[in-house]
Structure 1
Amino acid sequence: MTQIKSSYQYQVGGSLNGDAPSYVTRKADLEFYKALKGGNFCYVLNSRQMGKSSLRVRTMQKLQAEGIVCVFIDLTGIGTQDATPEKWYAGIFYTLVSGCQLTSKIQWRTWWREHLELLTPIQRLSLFIEEILLVEIKQKIVIFVDEIDRVLSQKFSLDDFFGLIRYCHDQRDTYADYQRLTFALLGVATPSDLIQDKTQTPFNIGQAIQLQGF
């Protein structure tokens, strides 16, 4: 009898490759993709080992295939040891510059330092989005922020970061370019855990993506 070897491999933990045959498509896959394609702010907040990273990978691939620029920010890589607001936001800034392939358009170290005396880190990040990111990138842009619960490990408040997401959404009514920009947050937390200042929360304007079991 001829034995047929299967290419199927079961994986525990970590994200699956985009073409992994073991990936199980769920309702959340279509919801996440359609919402982000439509420019809606989304968040996937759930327990660990529920497939959030694999969902992100697959969704990014589908959006990129349609010409949408996707940037991935993993807050684990920014770290918490010796982090200050200046270094934390600079890390976000550099990831956006690199992820959008803007290193040939902007001397990022020089730009960041030139605005040091007049603007706070969050103001510099906001200015970068308005004057460079949305000017140089003409396509739709989705910024994925994974491990968002890492903000809870910082010794300083990151309410302003969530406030910036809310600000970008609110700017859509005035500036059409902001309609091309949206965010997706993924992690292990609840909205009430993540932000203390409820006047800045973006979660009441976003779409929660529910990840059910397989």
Structure 2
Amino acid sequence: MTQIKSSYQYQVGGSLNGDAPSYVTRKADLEFYKALKGGNFCYVLNSRQMGKSSLRVRTMQKLQAEGIVCVFIDLTGIGTQDATPEKWYAGIFYTLVSGCQLTSKIQWRTWWREHLELLTPIQRLSLFIEEILLVEIKQKIVIFVDEIDRVLSQKFSLDDFFGLIRYCHDQRDTYADYERLTFALLGVATPSDLIQDKTQTPFNIGQAIQLQGF
């Protein structure tokens, strides 16, 4: 009897490739894709090993195939050890510049330092989104922020970071360009965890994507 060997190897942990034969499509796949394509802010907050990263990979591929610019920010890569607000936000800034292929459009180191004395890191990031990102990129933009629970262990508050995301959402009522910008947050947290200062408006925007079992 001739034995047929398969080249496929079962994968334990980590995100699956977009064409992985073991990937199981769930209701969340269609909901996530349709919501982001429609410009809705989304968050996928669940326990680990539930397929969040694989969902993100496949959704990014589908959106990119339709001409939507997708940027992936992995907060694990930004780090927590010895990170200062200046370095942390600079890491986010560079990831956006690189992910949107703007390195030929902007001298990013120079731009960041030129605004150092007058603006805080979060103000510089906000200014970059308004004056460069939404000006240079004419297509729809989806920014995926993964491992958002990493910010909960930072030594400094990142309430302003999630406040900026909410600000971009609220700007849609005034500036049409912000309608092209969408965020997707993924991680092990709840919306109430994201802005810990109870004197600020809670993170109460966006559509929750429920990840059910397989």
TM-score class normalised by the smaller sequence:
over 0.9
Q: Deviations over 1:15-63 (max 9, x none)?
A: 0011000000000000000000000000001111000000000000000
Deviations 1:57-110 (A, max 9, x none): 000000000000000000001101111111110000000000000000000000
Q: 1:169 to 1:202 in 2, by over 3 A?
A: farther
- Give the Å deviation of 1:193: 1.9
The CA deviation string for residues 149-190 of structure 1, in whole angstroms up to 9 with x for no partner, is: 000110111010011011001111111100000100000111
Structure 2: distance between partners of 1:42 and 1:7? 36
Shift of 1:202: 6.7
CA RMSD between the two structures: 1.3
Q: Structure 2 vs 1, CA of residues 87 and 165 (structure 1 numbering), >3 Å: closer, same or farther? A: same
Change in CA separation of 1:24 and 1:200 when aligned onto 2, cut-off 3 Å:
farther
The answer to whether the Cα contact below 8 Å between 2:163 and 2:203 also exists between their aligned partners in 1 is no
Displacement after TM superposition at 1:197 (Å) = 3.2
CA contact 1:162–1:202 (8 Å) conserved in 2: no
SS of equivalent to 1:21: coil
Alpha-carbon distance in structure 1 between the residues aligned to 2:19 and 2:180 = 28
Q: CA deviation at 1:205?
A: 1.9
Q: What is the SS of the residue equivalent to 2:112? A: helix
Change (3 A) 1:178 1:41: same
Counterpart for residue 94 of structure 2: 94
Identify if the C-alpha distance between structure 1 residues 199 and 37 changes in structure 2 by more than 3 Å, giving closer, same or farther. Answer: farther
CA contact (8 A) 1:162 1:200 kept: no
- After TM superposition, the runs of 4+ consecutive aligned structure 1 residues lying more than 6 A away are none
Measure how far apart 1:199 and its partner are: 6.5
Q: Which runs of 5+ in 1 are unaligned?
A: none
Distance 2:180 2:198 in 1: 25
CA distance in 2, matches of 1:4, 1:209: 40
Change beyond 3 A, Cα 1:67–1:90: same
Partners of 2:163 and 2:195 within 8 A in 1 = no
Residues 160, 200 of structure 1: 8 Å contact kept: no
- In the other structure, the counterpart of 1:69 is 69
Matched pairs, number: 214
Query: CA–CA distance in 1 between the matches of 2:39 and 2:201?
Result: 18
- Specify the SS of the correspondent of 1:131: helix
CA–CA distance in 1 between the matches of 2:66 and 2:198? 35
Q: Could you state the TM-score of these two structures normalised by the residue count of structure 1? A: 0.97
Is the CA contact (8 Å cut-off) linking 1:143 and 1:183 kept in structure 2?
yes
Distance 2:13 2:170 in 1: 37
Distance 2:11 2:178 in 1: 39
- The structure-2 alpha-carbon separation of the partners of 1:166 and 1:18, relative to structure 1 and needing over 3 Å to count, comes to same
Does the 8 A contact of 1:166 with 1:200 survive in 2?
no
How far has the Cα of 1:6 moved from its partner? 3.1
Per the alignment, in what secondary structure is the counterpart of residue 97 of structure 1? helix
